[in-house]
Amino acid sequence: MSADVTLAARIGAAVARHVDEAVAVRRDLHAHPEVSRAETRTTALLADRLRAAGLEPRLLPGTGLVCDVGPTGAGEPGPAGAASRARGRVALRADLDALPLQDRCELPWASTVPGVAHACGHDVHTAVVLGAGLVLADLHAQGELGRGVRLVFQPAEEVQPGGSLDVLAAGAMDGVDEIYAVHCDPKVDVGRIGTRIGPITSASDEVSVTIASPGGHTSRPHLTGDVVYALGQVITQVPAVLGRRLDPRSGVNLTWGAVHAGSAHNAIPSTGTVRGTLRCLDVRAWEFAGQVLHDAVEQVVAPYEVEVTVHHTRGVPPVENDERCTGLLEAAARDVLGPDSVVLTEQSLGGEDFAWYLTKVPGAMARLGTRTPGGRSYDIHQGDLQVDERAVDAGMRLLARVAAGQDG
C-alpha cells in the first residue's frame, strides 16, 4: 500500500472488510446470551472466528480466552520492514457475560434464552474487540503493525469482585504494558466517545446488615429489642454518618435496595436484614470506608439492645483512567472518527471490573456512543436496551487505531 495513505485510511479500509462479520457476531451473541462464568458457547464462537483468521486463541480456565496479534518481540519486522520498537504489548479487553433479566428489545436477534439478555452491551464490546483484532491482523499481515496486541475476552464482569481477577490470576496480562476498553453509553451519539482523566466509574461493594433480638409483641417494645425500629435507624442514619466521616469529594454513596423483616403487623420479628451497595469514586477513601461502615452501624444500633452483623463484600475499585492513555484514546478517536468525536463524560457510580487491570498497568476506558442522533436514550441494565449498530464500526476504528500506536 502506498506510503502516503494514512494509518486512519488503512484502518478504515480494513474495518470495511470486517465490520459486517463483527455485526453478525454481535447479533448472534445477543440472540444466545450466557450469564457469568457460563459463557461456553460465546467462548467457542470467538475461538472459531479467530482461528479462521489464522490466529491462535488461548482458552482461559473456565470460560473466556486471549489471543495475540502482531509482533511477538522487538526483533520482529515492523512497519515498512523496520525493526519494531521495543515496546510492550497493548491489550484490548471485552467482557462476555449477559444479565439475568428478560430481553424486551423486540428485534430479530432478540434473546432466545428466557430470562437472560445482553442488556449492558457486552455483545457490542465483544464484537468491537473481535473486529478490531481482525483489523490489526490485516495490518500485521501487510507489515504495518509495529507492536504486539493482546485481545482479552473476559468472563464474569457482572459479578463481584469480577472475572478480571481470574484473567489476572491466569497470567493473561503478563507482558502487557497498557490496556484499553470501551463501554456502551446510550446517552452519547453513535460516532462519538466519552472520556475523562481519573475516576470514570465507582468502587462498588455489597453490604448487608442483619439485626436480631428475641422478638415480641408490638404492645411491649420495651421488653425486647425492636428489630424493625433499629433497622430504620440503620437505613436513615448510617448513610448520613458516612457522609460526615468520609471526605465528601470522594463521592461516597450508600444506597439500600432491599429490606426484609417480619410478617405480622402486631409482632416484633426476631430478625431483619437490609441490603444495599456502597459506592465510592476515590480509591483511597474506598480502602477504609468499610471500617467506617462497621463502626457507624454498631454505634447507631447500640441503644436498642439488639445483636447486629455487618457483611461488607469488597467489589471493584474505581476505574481510574491514566492521563497519558486517555490522551492516546482521544487522539485516536479524532483521527478515525473526526475532530468533534470526543466529549467529556460524567463520572458514573456504576462499578466496572476493568478497574482491576488498571491496578497492574496503565490504561483507559472510553464510553462508546450507541444512541442514534435525535433518537431515544435507552438505559443499560434494562431489557429494552437497543443500540445503533454503527457503534460497532466506530469502536473497531477506535480500538484498532489506539492499539496500532504511532508506528502503524
CB 119 within 8 A of CB 99: yes
- pLDDT confidence tier of residue 284, bands split at 50, 70 and 90: confident
- Assign 85 to helix, strand or coil: coil
Residue with cell 468525536: 341
Classify residue 337 by its DSSP letter.
T
> Closest Cα to residue 182, out of 12, 23, 370?
370
| pLDDT tens for each residue of 174-184 | 999 999 999 99
Flag whether the pTM goes above 0.85: yes
Residue 66 has pLDDT above 50, yes or no: yes
Residue 119 has pLDDT above 80, yes or no: yes
Mean pLDDT of 12-35: 98
Average per-residue pLDDT for the chain: 94
Q: Please state, in angstroms and as integers, the Cα–Cα distance from residue 407 to each residue in 59, 113, 262, 337, following that order.
A: 30, 44, 66, 19
Q: Which residues contact 228 (CB under 8 A, 6 or more apart)?
A: 261, 262, 268, 269, 272
Residue 314 has pLDDT above 70, yes or no: yes
**Which contiguous run of DSSP H or E holds residue 93?**
strand 89-95
Mean pLDDT of 103-111: 97
pLDDT higher at 74 or 177: 177
Rounded Cα gap, residues 288 and 295, in angstroms: 11
pLDDT at 83: 36
Nine cell digits for residue 375: 433518537
CB 85 within 8 A of CB 407: yes
User: What backbone phi and psi angles, to 5 degrees, belong to 265?
Assistant: -75, -20
pLDDT at 406: 65
| pLDDT tens for each residue of 120-150 | 999 999 999 999 999 999 999 999 999 999 9
Residue 98 has pLDDT above 70, yes or no: yes
- pLDDT confidence tier of residue 4, bands split at 50, 70 and 90: low
The torsion defined by the Cα of 137, 15, 124 and 157, in degrees rounded to 10, comes to: 30
- pLDDT confidence tier of residue 2, bands split at 50, 70 and 90: very low
- pLDDT confidence tier of residue 354, bands split at 50, 70 and 90: very high
Q: Which residues contact 66 (CB under 8 A, 6 or more apart)?
A: 57, 58, 60, 150, 151, 152, 153, 167, 172
Q: Which residues contact 309 (CB under 8 A, 6 or more apart)?
A: 209, 210, 212
| pLDDT tens for each residue of 221-256 | 999 999 999 999 999 999 999 999 999 989 999 999
pLDDT at 73: 57
Nine cell digits for residue 163: 472475572
